[in-house]
Amino acid sequence: MKELEQEEWRDQLSKDDNAAILDVRTEEEVEEGYIPNSKNIDIYKGQGFIDEVEKLDKDKNYYIYCRSGKRSAQACSILDQLGFANTYNLEGGFMNWDGDTIEG
């Protein structure tokens, strides 16, 4: 896992042809808005989260965010343990995101 500040995360993501964006917030949080092209898998679903994540392509680079950066850091650790090659945590999370968003 790498911790990336907002600008680094956005810049690296824009140049990454093998990127996938993961939103690990709750459905209620997603309804308030989300980053375009992100896939929502709620980390609070416990084993359900792991089951969903196991279906993902482990060779992709995962850019992960939550509301503040704490749950996404946990998600990065889980993905790392499951054998995912590259995970990037968005420091400060969606709260501090100043890039494009879509209303939920």
Q: What is the set of active-site residues? A: 66
Query: What residue type is assigned to position 96 of the chain?
Result: N
- As to burial, measured by CB atoms within 10 angstroms (0-12 exposed, 13-18 middle, 19+ buried), residue 49 is middle
Q: What's the chain's Rg over C-alpha atoms?
A: 12
Distance of alpha carbon 84 from the chain centroid: 13
CA distance 100 to 13: 13
